[in-house]
Amino acid sequence: MADPTLEDYNVDKKVEEFVAYMKEQASHYTTNNILVTMGFDFAYQLADMDFKNTDILIDHINANPKYGMKLFYSTPNTYTDFVYKEKKEWPLKWDDFFPYADDPHSYWSGYFTSRPTLKGYVRWSGSLLRSI
């Protein structure tokens, strides 16, 4: 609720929660740029309301230098351009990512794999397990 005359005005509270979340996220980054992904599958059923609320959040934070951050809508390309300009040296990962679960019965096997044959075997064996 962005109107300060309303009883349930909550912009300041939401901004403080978001800023705290961003500071926590920043502790996991080695650059000054943070990529904030918003939403998930089917999250934007009411996209106009979500964007309106996000615009209020962005405007409020950008208008207050006390937060020490600048927010804006971006693309992966813009984000990587900003990170690239910081000229950081990144470690190389040579091994593969293991399957992981985000729910008790939801496994993302092969999602990040660079070994498509392994991904195929995992899907094939998973379909056998489900068919029994």
pLDDT (tens digit per residue) in 43-82: 778 888 889 999 999 999 999 999 999 999 999 999 999 9
Lowest mean pLDDT of 4-13, 18-27, 34-43, 97-106, name the range: 97-106
Selection from 2-6, 36-40, 94-98 with the highest mean pLDDT: 2-6
> According to the model, what pLDDT value does residue 93 have?
74
> According to the model, what pLDDT value does residue 109 have?
67
Residue 18 CB neighbour total at 10 angstroms: 19
pTM above 0.85, yes or no: no
Region of 68 on the Ramachandran plot (φ > 0 left; ψ -120 to 50 alpha; else beta): left
Length of the chain (residues): 132
